[in-house]
């Protein structure tokens, strides 16, 4: 009797599980069918309203375009019109009227009401929509949200303000930099992206702000943003002021700004950058290499060459890579470095030459039109071969390169093998 009861309980449990699985499958099928039906209706409405929009935009100026697109809030037609208008560009037939259409059709007011919603998802979606609609009249309602404690709301508000691109929004973001940078990584990234969206506007605002805050963390973020904005003399002035900062991160970011500007702003950059090649912090030296290469060009080869012997492998690698990009002027630097008596240093340089593919240029240099360059390339490859860095030479022989260069490589390998 006891065993029969166990069997009955097991059968009931299995039946219940099967029933629940069936219910879930049925619910999934019904939900998919409902969604398919909704999407079909939405596609049909998009086609209908797209045709209406084309006709409305082609009509004369007196035609009421808003009436041709009006729909009840929350309906599928409302959603279709919204998606259709958001897909338009300012260069389109009705581009100049997009903001007015959103306002007249009630979308701006509809989403402004949802800013008071306690549901974070609904509220964030409303902020995002107002940003995409570039609703300038919604700015007074969006600015207070920059003080919201929720990182998601804060981040989406910053993005919305950057799409609206009004100077009041930019100033409000910059004035809250300490708070925004300290909230979360999401907020920080949103802020940096937003400032980039403002473009040249942001340069002027950051130039005015930078003297008000001496916090190294804030200043490094300001300089990082300036390094991605369009070149400007104000950015150069700010960067030059912070090259001597006691904070290594700030020095590095200041160098990055100058490297972004290149030699297009001031011709006196190299003399400011050169001392930082000897900075005690390795990532500052690394950034100094990148910047000097941009602002000084070929004249930077000798100073950069000294860092081929740097204690940090990243700096050595960057120096070798920078030299390889400077072209023929780097050959003399590599040759002088490889003629030193320090075997460890020479092996390190060979490794960097090989890793940065500078060796490819040296092999091609065996067929250079200038005899002096051919000789120097040959000497460097001979030293590398003597230090057992011959794998790239062997690989070149197996490839489809120039036969004339291959013959030079064969002679080089045979001579070294005999020696």
Choice between 159 and 26, residue whose per-residue pLDDT is larger: 159
- Cα–Cα dist 210/67, whole Å: 49
Residue 338: pLDDT band (50, 70, 90) is: confident
- Cα–Cα dist 414/356, whole Å: 26
CB atoms within 10 A of CB 115: 18
CA atoms within 13 A on the CB side of 191: 28
User: What single-letter DSSP state applies at residue 261?
Assistant: H
Residue 337, both tokens = 């470095």
- Cα–Cα dist 244/303, whole Å: 19
Q: Are 221 and 180 in contact (CB under 8 A)?
A: no
Residue 390: pLDDT band (50, 70, 90) is: confident
Whether the per-residue pLDDT at 69 is higher than 90: the answer is no
How much is the pLDDT for 197?
84
Closest C-alpha to 269, from 245, 290, 248: 290
pLDDT digits (tens, 9 = 90+) for 340-384: 887 887 888 888 788 777 888 888 888 888 888 888 888 888 888
Q: Which domains does the chain have, with CATH numbers?
A: 102-196 (1.25.10.10)
State what percent of residues in the chain have pLDDT above 90.
16
SS3 368: coil
- Indicate the average pLDDT of the chain: 83
How much is the pLDDT for 290?
92
Mean pLDDT to the nearest integer, 9-28: 82
pLDDT digits (tens, 9 = 90+) for 29-39: 778 877 777 77
pLDDT digits (tens, 9 = 90+) for 186-238: 777 777 788 888 888 888 888 877 666 668 888 888 888 888 888 888 888 88
pLDDT digits (tens, 9 = 90+) for 142-151: 999 998 888 8
How much is the pLDDT for 62?
47
Can you say whether the dihedral through the CA atoms of 283, 284, 289, 295 is positive or negative? positive
């Amino acid at each position: 009797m006891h065993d029969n009861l166990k069997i009955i309980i097991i059968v009931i449990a299995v039946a219940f599980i099967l029933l629940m699985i069936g219910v879930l499958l049925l619910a999934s099928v019904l939900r998919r069918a409902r969604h398919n039906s909704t999407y079909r209706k939405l596609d049909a409405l998009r086609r209908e309203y797209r045709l209406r929009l084309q006709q409305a935009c082609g009509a004369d100026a007196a035609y009421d375009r808003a009436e041709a697109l009006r729909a009840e809030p929350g309906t599928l037609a409302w959603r279709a019109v919204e998606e259709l208008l958001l897909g338009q560009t300012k260069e389109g037939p009705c581009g100049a009227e997009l903001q007015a259409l959103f306002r007249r059709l009630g979308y701006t007011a509809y989403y402004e009401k949802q800013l008071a919603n306690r549901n974070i998802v609904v509220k964030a979606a409303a902020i995002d929509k107002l940003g995409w609609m570039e609703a300038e009249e919604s700015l007074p309602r969006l600015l207070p949200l920059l003080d919201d404690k929720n990182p998601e709301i804060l981040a989406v508000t910053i993005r919305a303000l950057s799409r609206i691109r009004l100077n009041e929004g930019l100033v409000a973001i910059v004035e809250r930099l300490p708070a925004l940078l300290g909230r979360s990584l999401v907020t920080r990234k949103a802020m940096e992206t937003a400032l980039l969206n403002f473009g040249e506007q942001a340069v002027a605002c950051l130039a005015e702000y930078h003297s008000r805050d001496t916090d190294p963390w804030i200043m490094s973020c300001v300089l990082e943003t300036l390094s991605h904005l369009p070149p400007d003399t104000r950015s150069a002035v700010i960067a030059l002021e912070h090259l001597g900062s006691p904070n290594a991160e700030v020095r590095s970011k200041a160098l990055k700004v100058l490297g972004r500007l290149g030699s297009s702003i001031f011709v006196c950059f190299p003399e400011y950058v050169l001392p930082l090649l000897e900075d005690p912090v390795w990532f500052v030296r690394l950034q100094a290499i990148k910047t000097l290469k941009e602002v000084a060009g070929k004249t930077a080869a000798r100073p950069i060459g000294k860092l081929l012997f740097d204690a940090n492998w990243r700096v050595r690698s960057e120096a070798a890579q920078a030299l390889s990009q400077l072209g023929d002027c780097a050959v003399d630097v590599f040759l002088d470095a490889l003629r030193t008596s320090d075997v460890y240093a020479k092996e390190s340089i060979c490794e960097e030459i090989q890793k940065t593919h500078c060796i490819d240029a040296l092999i091609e240099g065996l067929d250079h039109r200038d005899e002096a360059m051919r000789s120097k390339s040959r000497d460097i490859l001979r030293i590398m071969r003597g230090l057992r860095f011959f794998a790239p030479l062997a690989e070149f022989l197996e490839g489809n390169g120039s036969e004339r260069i291959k013959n030079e490589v064969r002679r080089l390998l045979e001579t070294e093998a005999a020696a």
